[in-house]
Structure 1
Amino acid sequence: MEYHLKKLVTHYRKALQIKPDSLAVYEKIAELYYEQGELDKTLEVCQESLQIQADLASAPKVLNKILQTLGFEGEEITAFQNLLQSKLVYESFHLLLSCSEEVKIAADVKTWKDAIVLGYDSQKKNQWNEAITAYMKAIEIEPSLSLSYYELNSIISYCTSLEQNELSRIIASYHQIIQGRLTPPYADVALGDMLTKQGKITEAITAYKTGIDKTIYPNKKYTNKYIDCPKIYNVSFLIIGMGKAGTSSLYHYLCQHPQILPATDKELHFFNKNFDLGLDWYLAHFPPLPVEGGFLTGEATPWYLGSYEVEKKVFQLFPKIKLIAILRNPVKRAISQYYMSLKMMKEHRSLEVAMTSELEILKGVGDPTKVSDKYWQTEKGYLWLGFYFYFLEKWMTLFPREQFLILRSEDLSSQTEKTMKQVYDFLEIADYSLLEYSKVNSGSYSKTSNELHQKLSDFFQPHNQKLEDYLGMKFDWE
């Protein structure tokens, strides 16, 4: 039965290639995914149809059915539908649950939504074991939704207090919950991350490759010709920086291109944190590429640009790789990173105190890229990461200039389609337009005082001038 349904989905996907604006075909595909219990894919198809015609009345009828099945009611359904028109499926879940009124959780959690909200609440209180239990419960209740796996994995990845025996217990329970059930590809990626943390690298590689396979076979990007042809594991491009400059949006837009095959995660941190796990571990996060060409894959870890000796490791393994750096006004970038740290409770100083403290230290440093260990004991690198010239100079001593594409973050925001054409030309793939360019992972915060902003701008002015002279391009940062 399952094979028959997948065959029908493939049939209707082919019909979309002939008539890509057919809402009736989207309706059929959404219904088929719903019958298979693949709720994430159902919602993705509903979102696709809303991109064709942004009218809730034209959305697949199964959308209301699925939301009711998941426990949404009345105004919640309308709110979710509106979010779905402009947001990613995962973001829609996250925003709706984050913005909705707090749910009173009984000891006996009955719906996946209750379990997720309980998990969020436990996270806020740093009750990690309770949060893990809540997300595992959400997976048990509804195993086809990616959201629970994302949240569970984020806790396990960053929770340093987990003992190995406790991690083993979690993995065993996780296996038992998802065994024999229809789960999204990210379920296997999360398992791979847990096994990696446990040091079981061979098993982790298998889990990552299983997640990749689950992505490949139902995806319309992958034709029979792709599936049957000889393939190799390789990485075509890296987005190396800079953090808080639009790398999430850039990578998201790129991954919508029919010739770009996404990695299991946007940020793999291989060259700055996980290099000792080995090349096989790294390559397992990417779909294999046809020997004859036609497809590309890559990742975006925005801290590669400024991380110590990362350029040497990349050159060692991928000397011909294409490198993309997107740079933002370093003052605005620093302030954005500060507020991200504040939100994540990694920063407790005021903006003025944090920036002034770092500014006073960096004023006396000859080579800004060579700060002492003492600097990192008090500072977070908000300003330090804005020394783009010094970082790029190190990369460009190894890689030729033609392997780099340098973008202005401001251009990606204000001239998105034109900027993406630059990216496609650089990667030597066909031009491709999206119906909408929604910003991903953007933040908002209060206005900085003119005095502080000017002080920081004055500090960066000579460094920005060096960058412009070195690259032969204008950034016009005030």
Structure 2
Amino acid sequence: MMNAIELHDVSKKFSKRGGQRNTIKELFLTPGTEEANDKWVLHDIDLSLPQGTSLALLGKNGSGKSTLLKLISRILYPTSGTVKVNGKVATLLELGAGFHVDFTGRENIYFNGSALGLTRREIQKKIQSIIDFSELGEDIDQPVRSYSTGMYMRLGFAVAIHMEPDILLIDEVLAVGDHEFRKKCINAILRLKSAGTTILFVSHAGEQAKMICDEAIWLEGGRIKLSGPTRDVLKAYEQSEAAHDYLAEYYYRMGSRSQQQQEFKQALAFFNQSLDKGYNEFSVKILRSSVYLELGMQEEAAADAVRCLEIAPPGTDMNSVVEHVHFVNKRKVEWVKSDRTKLYNNTSTEPSFLIIGTQKGGTTSLYHDLVQHPDIHAAAVKEIHFFDDQYQHGFDWYKKNFPPDLPAGHMTGEASPYYLFHPQVPARVREWLPDVKLIVMLRNPIDRAYSHYQMMVRRGLEPLSFAEAIQAERSRIEEDYARMERDPRFNSSNCAVYSYVKRGLYVEQLERWYRHFPRDQILVLHSEYGFQQPAHNYEKVLNFLDMPLWEPEQYVLLNEGDYEQSIPADTLAWLKDYYEEPNRRLFACIGAQFDWN
């Protein structure tokens, strides 16, 4: 098979002085200046790519990736060695490269097509498809100097893939644009790949390289450091010490760019990756708090904003940070489209049961199974959080979360696991729902704490190790929790996020509920037994609710954690000792002994 691209002993250097000495004085008085200022960007590159190869070029800025593509596209020529290219080349090396800024988008399609060797008739056959793919609409007849970065990218990409190239060179342009357009671009590239197009794709890191390319090379200092399957090379590159700091900054920049383009889910993913790589915590969280707001994640936004007050570096304009914190905490996101799919015009129906906790104890799985019952109806959202976070909206607002006009013998309810822990909730529930039935699921507090911690790590809210987080918990939440007990208007995002150990003190929480409700209105379940024998717990709940026995086709286990690391032995020993006495009191309180060993 003929090679599409061949490079033999290719090296490339640039002169920092533009490649020449500009005056007679420089020529005679500074001999050797040109050589002293030379910078070698590529060294002795040997590369042979058969037709149909898809190759990712990985490496940090300055490693030679873009220069290598420019040599293949004949924008640059090697200082030494040879470059052979067989076939028609289309390039996406820089946004708008090859565009004439005074031409309209339509005129640039003809201009670029002609440069690629197409006749005007061939371009005319493709032009409407190019315009449709670019999604520019009427802007196609505007001068491209008026285009945004995203519009440049869309037009450049649409032209390139419609030229049916033998070789496609792509230099990180798929990092911009909205999510749907990026998906369309990737699908178009994969179609070209299936048709036998040779693809070279420059990437700093990421999933796109794995999706598009079968092979990869890692460039470092202008040399090939590693080559092989994309997944293996990418993993080695991202785990390298040389790439660590660079990738942290790269993810931060990509998060900022995505935020500007209002691609908030992508921005959150990039910011979380940046924190994982150790980028400046303040820089990330001040931006991430705004992203959380756009995603309707109020508590996470508040936690980030408050954390920025604690870690602001010297010289920071603290007034601006304080204003940002106030803004975040005042902006309550009442309806979140992704969570609240329906609201009811309900004035009469009230919940017959509440699953009040514990968090990470199986409440989501139990609620899912319960609302499969033909006589039990789901609320608009599983966790309404009325009695803790949304209490200011009033009870009439709360009732709108439940379906109206239920037939006789039917019921509805919700599951907000923060209710068990929040000190103000029992009295509030007693005031509005004195006859409601309460369901509590209790999980081994050590396992619950670690599962809670892992969830916060995944959300990007916990930078500390598990042992460090436990040590820091008291300073993080003690004052806030005491204030929550005193002040019914106060809510603490820290208590919701960082209460790993305190939430496992179940006896304190249950005693508070028992002060407001008789024991026959509270059903306490063993979470681990429910995980292993869900049918048994399900039957107990139906009996407790006085509902007819019924069994779903299958029981689900939702939000199950999967951790690569276990709890450190010394931390585990400390937790066992810490919970020994509270657990003994709990078992005496509920009259049951759970196997938590």
TM-score (normalised: structure 2): 0.44
1:344-383 to structure 2, matched below 5 A, reads 344-358=459-473, 380-383=498-501
1:212-291 to structure 2, matched below 5 A, reads 212=343, 232-290=348-406
- Is residue 344–residue 402 contact of structure 2 (8 Å, CA) maintained in 1? no
Q: Does residue 1:295 correspond to 2:425, yes or no?
A: no
Residue 330 of structure 1: how far off its partner (Å): 0.3
Residue 355 of structure 1: how far off its partner (Å): 2.1
Alignment match, 2:434? 319
Structure whose residues are more often strand by fraction = 2
Q: For the structure 1 residues 337 and 410, does the alpha-carbon distance in structure 2 shift closer, same or farther, using more than 3 Å as the test?
A: same
Q: For the structure 1 residues 379 and 458, does the alpha-carbon distance in structure 2 shift closer, same or farther, using more than 3 Å as the test?
A: farther
1:395-414 to structure 2, matched below 5 A, reads 395-414=513-532
1:113-152 to structure 2, matched below 5 A, reads 125=255, 127-128=258-259, 130-131=261-262
- Is residue 122–residue 128 contact of structure 1 (8 Å, CA) maintained in 2? no
Residue 344 of structure 1: how far off its partner (Å): 1.0
Counterpart CA distance in 2 for 1:286 and 1:123 is: 43
Counterpart CA distance in 2 for 1:314 and 1:433 is: 30
Partner residue of 1:330 out of 419, 423, 445:
445
Q: Does residue 1:307 correspond to 2:414, yes or no?
A: no
Per the alignment, in what secondary structure is the counterpart of residue 406 of structure 1? strand
- Is residue 209–residue 284 contact of structure 1 (8 Å, CA) maintained in 2? no
Q: For the structure 1 residues 113 and 433, does the alpha-carbon distance in structure 2 shift closer, same or farther, using more than 3 Å as the test?
A: farther
Q: For the structure 1 residues 387 and 256, does the alpha-carbon distance in structure 2 shift closer, same or farther, using more than 3 Å as the test?
A: same
Residue 247 of structure 1: how far off its partner (Å): 0.8
Residue 278 of structure 1: how far off its partner (Å): 0.8
Larger radius of gyration: 2
Alignment match, 2:542? 424
Alignment match, 2:554? 436
CA RMSD of aligned residues (A): 4.5
Counterpart CA distance in 1 for 2:516 and 2:387 is: 16
Per the alignment, in what secondary structure is the counterpart of residue 523 of structure 2? strand
Per the alignment, in what secondary structure is the counterpart of residue 407 of structure 1? strand
Residue 450 of structure 1: how far off its partner (Å): 2.7
Deviations along 1:441-470, one digit per CA (max 9) or x if unpaired, are: 121112112332121011101000000001
- Paired AA for residue 464 in structure 1: N
Residue 436 of structure 1: how far off its partner (Å): 2.0
- Is residue 272–residue 310 contact of structure 1 (8 Å, CA) maintained in 2? yes
- Is residue 334–residue 383 contact of structure 1 (8 Å, CA) maintained in 2? yes
Alignment match, 1:464? 583
Q: For the structure 1 residues 409 and 349, does the alpha-carbon distance in structure 2 shift closer, same or farther, using more than 3 Å as the test?
A: same
Alignment match, 2:595? 476
Counterpart CA distance in 2 for 1:376 and 1:106 is: 35
Counterpart CA distance in 1 for 2:562 and 2:400 is: 35
- Is residue 233–residue 289 contact of structure 1 (8 Å, CA) maintained in 2? yes
Per the alignment, in what secondary structure is the counterpart of residue 270 of structure 1? coil
Per the alignment, in what secondary structure is the counterpart of residue 440 of structure 2? strand
Gapped regions of structure 2 (runs ≥ 5): 1-171, 188-205, 207-250, 267-290, 303-329
Counterpart CA distance in 1 for 2:382 and 2:544 is: 20
- Is residue 122–residue 130 contact of structure 1 (8 Å, CA) maintained in 2? no
Q: For the structure 1 residues 422 and 407, does the alpha-carbon distance in structure 2 shift closer, same or farther, using more than 3 Å as the test?
A: same
TM-score (normalised: structure 1): 0.54
Alignment match, 2:31? none
Per the alignment, in what secondary structure is the counterpart of residue 211 of structure 1? coil
Alignment match, 1:211? 342
- Is residue 238–residue 300 contact of structure 1 (8 Å, CA) maintained in 2? yes
Q: For the structure 1 residues 254 and 378, does the alpha-carbon distance in structure 2 shift closer, same or farther, using more than 3 Å as the test?
A: closer
Identity of aligned residues (%): 31
Q: For the structure 1 residues 355 and 199, does the alpha-carbon distance in structure 2 shift closer, same or farther, using more than 3 Å as the test?
A: closer
Q: For the structure 1 residues 351 and 425, does the alpha-carbon distance in structure 2 shift closer, same or farther, using more than 3 Å as the test?
A: same
- Is residue 263–residue 286 contact of structure 1 (8 Å, CA) maintained in 2? yes
- Paired AA for residue 400 in structure 1: P
Per the alignment, in what secondary structure is the counterpart of residue 398 of structure 1? coil
Q: For the structure 1 residues 105 and 209, does the alpha-carbon distance in structure 2 shift closer, same or farther, using more than 3 Å as the test?
A: closer
Counterpart CA distance in 1 for 2:367 and 2:253 is: 28
Counterpart CA distance in 2 for 1:411 and 1:240 is: 18
1:76-87 to structure 2, matched below 5 A, reads none
Counterpart CA distance in 2 for 1:438 and 1:319 is: 31
Q: Count residues with an aligned counterpart.
A: 301
Deviations along 1:368-400, one digit per CA (max 9) or x if unpaired, are: x97999996999111000010011101111100
Per the alignment, in what secondary structure is the counterpart of residue 295 of structure 2? helix
Counterpart CA distance in 2 for 1:456 and 1:200 is: 37
Counterpart CA distance in 2 for 1:103 and 1:263 is: 44
Structure whose residues are more often helix by fraction = 1
Q: For the structure 1 residues 108 and 327, does the alpha-carbon distance in structure 2 shift closer, same or farther, using more than 3 Å as the test?
A: closer
Residue 431 of structure 1: how far off its partner (Å): 1.6
Partner residue of 1:451 out of 570, 581, 587:
570
Q: Does residue 1:155 correspond to 2:295, yes or no?
A: yes
- Paired AA for residue 295 in structure 2: I
Counterpart CA distance in 2 for 1:456 and 1:371 is: 29
Alignment match, 1:340? 455
Deviations along 1:204-248, one digit per CA (max 9) or x if unpaired, are: 7xxx9992569xxxxxxxxxxxxxxx9932111101110011111
Counterpart CA distance in 2 for 1:471 and 1:233 is: 31
- Is residue 348–residue 399 contact of structure 2 (8 Å, CA) maintained in 1? no
Q: For the structure 1 residues 356 and 469, does the alpha-carbon distance in structure 2 shift closer, same or farther, using more than 3 Å as the test?
A: same
Counterpart CA distance in 2 for 1:354 and 1:452 is: 11
Q: For the structure 1 residues 310 and 110, does the alpha-carbon distance in structure 2 shift closer, same or farther, using more than 3 Å as the test?
A: closer
- Paired AA for residue 344 in structure 1: R
Residue 424 of structure 1: how far off its partner (Å): 0.8
Alignment match, 1:77? none
Gapped regions of structure 1 (runs ≥ 5): 1-101, 136-150, 162-196, 215-229
Counterpart CA distance in 1 for 2:464 and 2:554 is: 38
Residue 317 of structure 1: how far off its partner (Å): 0.2
- Paired AA for residue 376 in structure 2: I
